[in-house]
Amino acid sequence: MMYSDFSVCMSVYKNDLPEFFNNSVKSIINQTVKPSEIIIVVDGPVSDKIAEIIKELEHQYNFFRSIWLENNVGLGNALAIAVDNSGYDLIARMDSDDIAVPDRFEKQLLCFQKHPEISVAGGAISEFVEKAENVIGIRKCPITDMEIKKYLKKRCPFNHMTVMFRREHVLNAGNYIDWKFNEDYYLWIRMHLAGYKFCNLPETLVYVRVGKEMYSRRGGGIYFKSEAKLQKYLFQKSVINRNQLFLNLFIRFIVQIIMPNNIRGYVYQRLLRR
């Protein structure tokens, strides 16, 4: 079967660990359907070891390309640069410390072949600690376009590190725009407003590395302010009504401001995961 050419876009920065980054890249190189190009945006200064890994990958694979930024610009801006520089209509996202399942791209490309009306296709994630075999939770997202757009009124409807999307449609919606912690959610909202269609695959596409620090990142005043601002944007664009706005803000205030990290971790693992 013939598959479409596609790009993979990643961003790496100073806090990424070389071993995790290397394993992540190898998981997208060793796919049943290999990418046509891999674009790595180096978001500001990185360790010598990561720089060495990138240079070795460029030497070894002619489809591997890096873009080096002098200063750290943040994930949203880095991904916008990656999308702008991608050479193919389909783009897959990948985080720098996660592990893609071996047939991830094959499944997503088949989805786009069967459903050419789709603009974004994501999937489930399996969250693990230390080793991919040590799965502590699975986050599944709604499957159909209707279910996704209903869910979007409450929470982000995609696992960002799993998505594959049409470059032209993302650019038509304004591309990634910096929005601390929520550059992806903001993009999906704008694509929804533009009338594009979504889907999620039910199976795990990416193994995602987690730890206690993940739950601390999902709490605190800065995180809440970012989320609250996004909820107000949803209201201003008439995606949600006033009652939904107040409910969304109330839930976020309890989870992100009031709850300590250990309780927040329990909520995410037991109530928002399977």
The full length of the chain comes to 274
Same domain for 204 and 229, yes or no, is: no
Q: How far apart are CA 32 and CA 40, in angstroms?
A: 21
pLDDT of residue 152: 97
Whether residue 49 is contained in a domain is answered as yes
Number of domains into which the chain is organized: 2
Sign of the alpha-carbon dihedral angle for 232, 164, 36, 172 = negative
Q: How far apart are CA 33 and CA 220, in angstroms?
A: 41
Which residue among 191, 210, 229 closes a domain?
210
* Rounded CA Rg of the chain: 18
Q: Which domain holds residue 250?
A: 215-271
Whether residue 77 is contained in a domain is answered as yes
Same domain for 41 and 129, yes or no, is: yes
Strands 37-43, 6-12: parallel, antiparallel or unpaired by DSSP?
Answer: parallel
pLDDT tens column, 118-156: 999 999 999 998 888 889 889 999 999 999 999 999 999
pLDDT band at 263 (very low <50, low <70, confident <90, very high): low
Whether residue 1 is contained in a domain is answered as no
pLDDT tens column, 40-52: 999 999 999 999 9
Same domain for 180 and 228, yes or no, is: no
pLDDT at 74 over 90: yes
Same domain for 181 and 240, yes or no, is: no
Report the percent of the chain where pLDDT is more than 70: 91
Extract the tokens encoding 8.
């993979």
Helix (H, G, I), strand (E, B) or coil at 44: coil
Q: What is the mean pLDDT of residues 63-73?
A: 96
Q: How far apart are CA 11 and CA 79, in angstroms?
A: 7
Q: Which residues contact 114 (CB under 8 A, 6 or more apart)?
A: none
pLDDT of residue 258: 77
As a whole number, the mean pLDDT across the chain is 91
Burial class from Cβ neighbours inside 10 Å (0-12, 13-18, 19+) for residue 244 reads middle
pLDDT at 266 over 90: no
pLDDT at 84 over 70: yes
Same domain for 256 and 138, yes or no, is: no
Q: Exposure string (b/e) for 153-189, b if CB count within 10 Å is 16 or more?
A: beebbbbbbbbbbbbebbeebebbeebebbbbbbbbb
Alpha helices per DSSP H over 152-260: 167-172, 183-193, 212-217, 221-236, 242-252
pLDDT tens column, 214-238: 554 556 788 889 999 999 999 999 9
> From the CB of residue 69, how many other CB atoms can be counted at a distance below 10 Å?
16
Alpha helices per DSSP H over 33-89: 48-60, 75-85
CA 34 to each of CA 104, 120, 200: distance values in angstroms, whole numbers, following the listed order: 10, 19, 21
Same domain for 28 and 112, yes or no, is: yes
Is-contact 181 227, C-beta < 8 A? yes
Is-contact 111 201, C-beta < 8 A? yes
Same domain for 98 and 141, yes or no, is: yes
pLDDT of residue 131: 84
Strands (E), 13-105: 37-43, 64-69, 90-93, 99-100
Same domain for 175 and 92, yes or no, is: yes
